[in-house]
Amino acid sequence: MSDDDFSPPALRSSRSTGSARLTDVARVAGVAPMTVSRALNRPELVSEATRLKVQRAVLETGYVPNRVAGALASSRSRLVALLVPTVAHSLFAEVTQTIMAALAPQGYQVMLGLVGYTPEQEEKILETVLSRRPDGIVLTGCRHSELARRRLLAAEVPLVEIWDMTDEPLDMLVGFSHEAVGEAVGRHLVELGRRRIGVISADDSRARRRVAGLAAVLHATPDASMTVREVGTPSSMPWGREKSAELLDNEAVDAIVCSSDILAMGVLAEAQSRGVDVPGALAIMGFGDSSYAKATFPALSTVRIDGATLGRRAAEHLLARMAQPHFQRVEQTLDLGFEIVDRGTT
């Protein structure tokens, strides 16, 4: 008897965290519920063809196994999942602290997940998070894998995406446009007379969209040029020094734009070690307005994001939705914008 032929009674514990159930996966895959359970928990016990059919059905239904045995669909976990790339960056730490402080008085505990900068890592952590049946979710960014999107939509849990902007939010969105940041930085430098722009950017999608916005402005500016150097994540001051050395050695740049203040600190250190006049010969622009940005010499020009307000508004949106007796997706967007901070390095 093959795996596909085995048809046991429906399992009472087969509920997922959302509307999709193990039996739904079985129906879509054309196999028995027990076969789905085996394919997900003991894939070595089923054929490769069966495993692939179940994987496709999971993707189609957005199914997530329920790890809370016996929990009722109407129960409240009093948990809110907060997924951020890292807490090593002061901006994400500020947002995290603000959200936790706003939720705690209302009796909610925060389950923190560090997803890095890839959709694949977010997808893995989301599976674990959703299986714990949180009452609400806060996600950093709007770019998710197809499986993550399907699972989030199927879960029917109040959700706030932050730190980004899109015309098609999954539910609620509180953030800003990275493309608009890049465009504003480009216009600012062009107005200052800078035309040969070097860029040191992290290789994550949000930083790349800021670079794309900058490139659009420079493309429309006569005699302007742009040279990009990418680094990994999280960014570091040594990478800023290394990549700025490459630019200064090989490109006639009169400004260097960085995807973070820590990279810009490395650029400033390299320029000072060479005796380069900042901002006379070289302008430097960071991102984030970290606590040390105005304490450098010269003080670092950067882009300010109000992380405290972003975290507070995200928490307010989520609390209001979790207080409602029934789930209803709203697709509500709040653009908090940003501020160009023009200091001594430009």
Cα R_g (the chain), whole angstroms = 24
CA–chain centroid gap for 75, Å, is 29
Low-confidence ranges of the chain (pLDDT < 70): 1-19, 66-75
Give the pLDDT score at 73.
47
- Torsions phi, psi for 257 (to 5 deg): -105, 135
Give the pLDDT score at 67.
55
Alpha helices in 156-303 (DSSP H): 178-191, 205-219, 237-250, 261-274
| Residue extent(s) of CATH 3.40.50.2300 domains in the chain | 79-176+308-337, 178-304
Give the pLDDT score at 160.
98
* 3 state SS of 303: strand
Fold of 178-304: Rossmann fold (3.40.50)
Angle at 84 between CA 295 and CA 180, to 5 degrees: 65
User: How far, in Å, CA of 75 to CA of 190, rounded?
Assistant: 56
Tens digits of residue pLDDT in 292-332: 999 999 999 999 999 999 999 999 999 999 999 888 888 89
What are 230's strand-pairing partners?
201
Give the pLDDT score at 74.
45
Fold of 3-61: 434 Repressor (Amino-terminal Domain) (1.10.260)
| Residue extent(s) of CATH 1.10.260 domains in the chain | 3-61
Strands (E), 57-195: 79-84, 109-114, 136-140, 159-162, 172-175
Amino acid at 135: D
Give the pLDDT score at 9.
35
Fold of 79-176+308-337: Rossmann fold (3.40.50)
Cβ distance 148 to 119 under 8 Å?
yes
Question: What separation in angstroms does the CA of 37 have from each of 11, 17, 161, 239?
Answer: 10, 16, 31, 46
